Structure 1
Amino acid sequence: MPSTPPSLRLVLASNSPRRRQLLTDLGLSYEIRLREVAEDYPAHLRRAEVAEYLAAHKAEAYRADLAPDEVLLTADTIVCLDDDVLNKPADEAEARAMLTRLQGRAHEVYTGVCLLGGDGQRTVFSDQTRVHFRPLSAAEIEFYVRTYQPLDKAGAYGAQDWIGMVAVTKLEGSYFNVMGLPVHRVWAELTRLGFRSE
């Protein structure tokens, strides 16, 4: 397959090792740029709206620095139980509380993605996956929190971790979306722009 045209360069604005690995596994070359961006959002937003807003909000922080031949990718993953957004826990106590709420129930994972071109073109979209958890004991939750320290993960868990193997009984939608990037949607948008695997 031919490589990406030299007229376009992909920039990933994410500190997530999982998103980096997924883009690498797609065979895409990219540069990483990082800066602190507040993850606040208007209270009236719900579910997918929150994820899309946060992804677009992150992208705006880089707009002025993008070269005309660059395309920036930002993303934000949230976990929703009913209408409550469970973002990254502040500490282990909050992680335990989140997992206690999630155990034995189904919840939704939304990942919002923003592709912002240096030419000002912007595409924002999201993907949804429904995740079913079996009931978990307090000891299982404690083991996961202490061993895997899931403070950098929405909903206090990573589907690719131990808890994904023992707790997730069913997925409706993309597994990779739960990891933090709906790669099927991202690939479709990037190939539309002219990106190819190398």
Structure 2
Amino acid sequence: MTEQIILASGSPRRRELLDQIGVTYRVHAVDIDETVLPGEPPDVYVQRIAAEKSACCVQQFKPTIPVLAADTSVVLNGAIMGKPRDAADAEAMLTALSGRTHQVYTAVSLRHRCQHFEALSVTDVCFKPLTQAEIRAYWRSGEPIDKAGAYAIQGLGSVFIQSLSGSYSGVVGLPLFETAALLQQQGIKIIQ
């Protein structure tokens, strides 16, 4: 089947979400500097990174079909939590999230025919109180290693989530409601 878009991401979770809604794509992951700028708010940060990813892909590959990029950050009290460096870092992150509500920001950037379209999803995620034994066992599972905030809602980390207000798919890494709206504006039909 012919690709409808270019996905400027190597994330297997984003591919699974696009598969879920029947959008065909070709992957052209890009490598950009994702350093948070001093004083940069989380919403501005994820929007900037998603936009830079899509712009880099357009510049490198000069595609004739739309380019989709996204960026996701876990945020607690306004502070962006990255991916854990090691077990101690993951333990600190999960301990901080324990029994609290945090936000997951996901920005979507779509470029096509010299135009740029964006969307932002913000979801509140409430964790149950976690024991140190649960946190250590979760680290040993290997799941938190490359995940923002040291957890994956679509995996074992789901058992920590007491409630969610917003977009489940946004927490996974690509808010499907917002993504579908952007794609439909470009004539890509989701439900035919």
TM superposition score category, shorter chain reference: over 0.9
**Other-structure match for 1:94:** 89
Structure 2: distance between partners of 1:160 and 1:42: 29
Q: What is the identity, as a one-letter code, of the residue corresponding to 2:155? A: D
Structure 1: distance between partners of 2:61 and 2:22: 23
Structure 1: distance between partners of 2:185 and 2:5: 13
- 1:9–1:30: 8 Å Cα contact kept in structure 2? yes
> TM-score, normalised to structure 2's length?
0.93
Structure 2: distance between partners of 1:54 and 1:102: 24
**Other-structure match for 1:139:** 133
Structure 2: distance between partners of 1:170 and 1:149: 20
Structure 2: distance between partners of 1:91 and 1:128: 27
Offset, 1:69: 2.2
> TM-score, normalised to structure 1's length?
0.90
One of 34, 42, 60 as aligned partner of 2:37: 42
Q: Percent identity?
A: 38
Structure 2: distance between partners of 1:185 and 1:132: 22
- 2:143–2:152: 8 Å Cα contact kept in structure 1? no
Q: How does 1:1-198 map to 2 (within 5 A)?
A: 9-67=4-62, 69-117=64-112, 119-164=113-158, 166-197=159-190
Over 3 Å counting, the alpha-carbon distance change for 1:19 and 1:68 in structure 2 is closer
Structure 1: distance between partners of 2:42 and 2:189: 31
Q: What is the identity, as a one-letter code, of the residue corresponding to 1:188? A: A
Structure 2: distance between partners of 1:120 and 1:40: 26
Offset, 1:44: 2.3
Segments of structure 2 that go 5 or more residues without pairing to the other structure are none
Structure 2: distance between partners of 1:48 and 1:181: 15
Higher mean Cα deviation, 50-59 or 105-114?
50-59
Structure 2: distance between partners of 1:12 and 1:68: 11
Offset, 1:68: 5.4
- Secondary structure of the residue aligned to 1:76 is strand
- Secondary structure of the residue aligned to 2:145 is coil
Query: 1:31-88 CA distances to partner (integer Å, 9 max, x unpaired)?
Result: 0012321111322221211111111122222222344522111111001100110011
